């Protein structure tokens, strides 16, 4: 049984019913926290936010459109690293980094932060079925798409609507956090990194795939448009400084063009 924390009251506990993760059976209802606060569950999605966040950047706003959610994975996500690096980069190669660096173990609690369609969450659960995987995003359309895909994969996931800046976990509760491409979209990167540090166990693992600031003139030009939409790009030294400032140690890093895989840990 997984107990998570209310995003509003730090002492308040929310117990997740185990069958809410069984996505082939529709689960609707309400969850009550230990201090009496109630949260809706609609078709297995546990809504800890209750309403959409305010003041969204265009990039963030696009994630609240059902059309983005429905095409995101097939049209963009699974091809994106090939397009961005300019060479063949099959999704299986990205997953190899994920499995080898995260090394998911039985009974671990793993969070896919800013999960969109829960690609990492689904793959990790299929790879280590004895782990508990929570797919977290603040967009209901993305979580609905995640549910459809996880159900089709026969994959048990907890789908939680929450904000990465205020995560619904107790301090030192989570074994691993994985975050594919979302670091560039967080509007408050520092806040998210400090939250990740808070919720990770000592020696916890934090796996990220993120994009660095381009060095070529044409790359900089393309990123200028994305920056206008609210996407942020840091140089490798800048982002590594932010990781360190939040209290992480860098265990591994691999870059290919502007694509960067980072594995961070928290000290024991």
Ligand X SMILES: C[S@@+](CC[C@H](N)C(=O)[O-])C[C@H]1O[C@@H](n2cnc3c(N)ncnc32)[C@H](O)[C@@H]1O
Query: What is the spatial distance between Cα 29 and Cα 19, in angstroms, rounded to a whole number?
Result: 12
Q: What is d(CA 127, CA 100) in angstroms, rounded to the nearest whole number? A: 11
User: Residue 111 Cβ, how far from ligand X at the closest point, in Å?
Assistant: 11
Q: Up-side HSE of residue 262: CA atoms within 13 Å toward CB?
A: 26
Contact code string over 54-73 relative to ligand X, x by CB under 6 A: ------x--x----------
Binding span for ligand X by CB under 6 A among 21-29, 132-140, 145-153, 169-177: 132-140
Is 141 among the residues that bind ligand X (CB under 6 A)?
no
Interacting positions 63-122 with ligand X (CB under 6 A): 63, 77, 114-116, 119-120
Minimum separation from the CB atom of position 268 to ligand X (A): 28
| Secondary structure class of 132 (helix, strand, coil) | strand
Per rule CB under 6 A, is residue 186 in the interface with ligand X? yes
Least Cβ distance, residue 73 to ligand X (angstroms): 7
Site for ligand X (CB under 6 A): which residue of 46, 181, 214, 248?
181
In the list 144, 145, 156, 163, the residue contacting ligand X (rule: CB under 6 A) is 163
By CB under 6 A, name the one of 21, 142, 155, 246 that touches ligand X: 142
Stretch that binds ligand X, among 37-45, 123-131, 179-187, 219-227 (CB under 6 A): 179-187
Cα pseudo-dihedral 243, 244, 245, 247, rounded to 10: 90
- Quick one: 34 or 213, whose CB is closer to ligand X? 213
Q: Give the CA dihedral 99, 200, 59, 76, nearest 10 degrees.
A: 10
CA atoms within 13 A on the CB side of 101: 25
> What is the phi/psi pair of residue 144, to 5°?
-65, -40
192: Cα within 13 Å, side-chain hemisphere: 20
Q: Give the residues lining the site for ligand X (CB under 6 A).
A: 60, 63, 77, 114-116, 119-120, 137-139, 142, 163-165, 180-182, 185-186
């Amino acid at each position: 049984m997984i107990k998570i924390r209310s995003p509003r009251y730090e002492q308040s506990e929310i117990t997740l019913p185990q069958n809410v993760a069984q996505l082939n059976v529709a689960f609707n209802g309400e969850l009550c926290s230990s201090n009496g606060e109630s949260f809706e569950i609609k078709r297995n999605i546990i809504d800890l936010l209750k309403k959409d966040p305010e003041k969204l950047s265009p990039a963030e706003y696009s994630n609240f459109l059902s059309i983005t959610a429905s095409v995101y994975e097939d049209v963009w996500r699974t091809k994106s690293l090939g397009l961005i690096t300019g060479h063949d980069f099959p999704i299986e190669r990205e997953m190899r980094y994920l499995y080898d660096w995260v090394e998911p173990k039985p009974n671990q609690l793993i969070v896919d932060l800013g999960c969109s369609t829960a690609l990492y969450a689904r793959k990790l659960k299929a790879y280590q079925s004895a782990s508990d995987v929570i797919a977290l995003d603040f967009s209901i359309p993305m979580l609905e798409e995640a549910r459809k895909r996880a159900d089709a994969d026969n994959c048990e996931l907890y789908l939680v609507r929450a904000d990465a800046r205020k995560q619904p976990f107790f301090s030192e509760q989570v074994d691993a956090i994985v975050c594919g491409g979302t670091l560039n979209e967080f509007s408050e990167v520092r806040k998210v990194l400090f939250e990740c540090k808070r919720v990770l166990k000592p020696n916890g693992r934090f796996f990220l795939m993120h994009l660095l600031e381009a060095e070529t003139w044409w790359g900089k030009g393309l990123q200028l448009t994305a920056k206008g939409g609210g996407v942020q790009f840091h140089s490798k030294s800048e982002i590594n400084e932010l990781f360190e400032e939040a209290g992480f140690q860098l265990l591994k890093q691999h870059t290919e063009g502007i694509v960067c895989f980072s594995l961070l840990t928290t000290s024991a």
